[in-house]
Amino acid sequence: MITRPLLPLLVFLACAAPVATQEAPAQLSLAEALDIARTNNPGFQQTRNDEALADWDVNQSWGQFLPSVSASGGLSWQGPGEQQFGTLTLGDLGFSDQPSFYGSSYSLNLGYSLDWATITGPKQAGAQRSATLRGIAVAEADLVARVTTGYIDLLRQDDAVRIAQQQLENAEFNLRLAQGQLQVGQVTPIDVGQAEVQVGRAQVTLLQSENARTTSRMRLLQLLGLPVDQTFAPSTEFAFSEPTWTLEELTERALGGNPELMRRRSSTEAAEVGVSSAWSSYFPSLSLNAGWGGFTQEASNVDFQIAQAQAGVASSISQCVFTNDLYSRLADPLPPIDCGAIAFTDQQRQDIVTRNDQFPFDFTRAPFRMSMTLSVPIFSGLNRQRNLEAARLQRDDFRQQVREQELAVRADLAIGLETARTLYESALLEDRNRELAEQQLNLARERYQLGAITFVELVDAQTVFVQADADRTGALFAYHDSVTTLEALVGASLR
């Protein structure tokens, strides 16, 4: 049983435990690599977060049509003492020993404003959201291109390791061949030494190739957002086929799907709305405001107020006596007023105490207020003209950027397609050269066994074969790289 004092510690350890890291499968396909990268790549995740902010911008633009409401409340305290009114004080007026006062207040304000910028706000926010989504698509396309290139590079390094292993096997075979020829006396120990040197060089090449493959794997894992200590084997094989696409076909697809081109078009649409919004400074705006409020004020003691009330009663009695004296002096005296009825009673004292008991929630309501304002701009120091012209220039700049990107896409597609065709033909030729080099190597081995050529000539034949094999691999993967470049331009897979 878990005791209560241990619960906070277990909760802390559970929250502090690291989140399980995603692992790459043992056999990793290109599609799986792309899915992992979309989920884990930190840079792409930062860009993807812009979508949530763009959604809130749209919501906020619609929220501008709703009235604004604010509520406030406060407490106040005023210490005892005398207040000054001009050159007089309360003491001069006969009101001394003023107590401290406690006060509270509240206010509720309702406001509503409407102008052209508010009306066009949702359209502008929607256009900017589309531009943001296009920007995310650009980042995703760039990530796809980089992951695909890294995946192809890993396959390239795997093939380089295969070639290095084959080179080592051939060098070891040549060493055994030289050792056999030495035993029968057909070669000198020099040939055996040269064969051993070739084996050592092949081992160095294999070691460097394995290091390059490890580096390529780590870079790919970095792109996927995974730890670099994981191991996996690429399982996707890229078909080597003749590029049969036409330039017109690729251009049509690219003009409707190139991510950067689509982003610039969305930015242009947002700039168009921005020009309409810039006109808002020429249109009138309407504002409505309404407010409610209340306040309380309570003295710390009521002696001051009772003294005021008693002084008022005493003044009334004096006035009553003075009036009766005047009445008695008249030629036809009037009946006197009953001054005895004027007195400060306990009920009046209690009323003063009751009225003073207001703090903090017995509010006295303030008068309701409401206003409406219609503002018509007339002259603002050419700021409106400047802002409108800036919006127009920005729109024109985006239009030029769209045209610039269209020209770049057309040119890059034409160049990329020609490059892909050239690399395809080059790979075919390099494959034929490898076959010929392999035939020459086999023939050289047979002639070396017969003593018709020297070991140096055998090594030269092997070097030619290794170079032909490497050139074939380089041409093959250069072709795949060119297809990846075309896919980035088109914005879709071509394989």
Confidence at residue 86, expressed as pLDDT on a 0 to 100 scale: 63
Q: At residue 14, does pLDDT exceed 50?
A: no
Residue 9 is assigned to a structural domain of this protein: no
pLDDT band at 424 (very low <50, low <70, confident <90, very high): very high
Average pLDDT over residues 241-263: 93
Query: Per mean pLDDT, which range of 144-148, 177-181, 202-206 is the poorest?
Result: 177-181
Which is higher by pLDDT, 21 or 202? 202
Residue 304 is assigned to a structural domain of this protein: no
Residue 42 is assigned to a structural domain of this protein: yes
Which tokens is 455 given?
Answer: 């070991």
Confidence at residue 379, expressed as pLDDT on a 0 to 100 scale: 83
pLDDT band at 97 (very low <50, low <70, confident <90, very high): low
For the four alpha carbons of 339, 342, 343 and 344, in that order, the dihedral sign comes to negative
Residue 137 is assigned to a structural domain of this protein: yes
Residue 327 is assigned to a structural domain of this protein: no
% of the chain at pLDDT higher than 90: 52
DSSP line for 171-184 = HHHHHHHHHHHHHT
pLDDT band at 23 (very low <50, low <70, confident <90, very high): confident
Residue 81 is assigned to a structural domain of this protein: no
Q: What digits encode the pLDDT tens for the residues 397-417?
A: 999 999 999 999 999 999 999
pLDDT band at 95 (very low <50, low <70, confident <90, very high): low
**Can you tell me the distance from the alpha carbon of 40 to that of 346, in angstroms, rounded to the nearest whole number?**
81
Confidence at residue 277, expressed as pLDDT on a 0 to 100 scale: 85
Residue 333 is assigned to a structural domain of this protein: no
Residue 458 is assigned to a structural domain of this protein: yes
Counting the structural domains of the chain, the total is 1
Domain containing 423 — which CATH number?
1.20.1600.10
Its domain, for residue 267, covers 31-66+115-284+376-490
User: Over the chain, what is the mean pLDDT?
Assistant: 87
Which tokens is 402 given?
Answer: 């769209």
Query: Per mean pLDDT, which range of 254-263, 268-277, 338-347 is the poorest?
Result: 338-347
- Helix, strand or coil, per DSSP, at residue 284: coil
Q: At residue 8, does pLDDT exceed 70?
A: no
**Can you tell me the distance from the alpha carbon of 379 to that of 387, in angstroms, rounded to the nearest whole number?**
14
Do the bridges between strand 27-28 and strand 233-234 make them parallel or antiparallel, or are there none, so unpaired? Answer: parallel
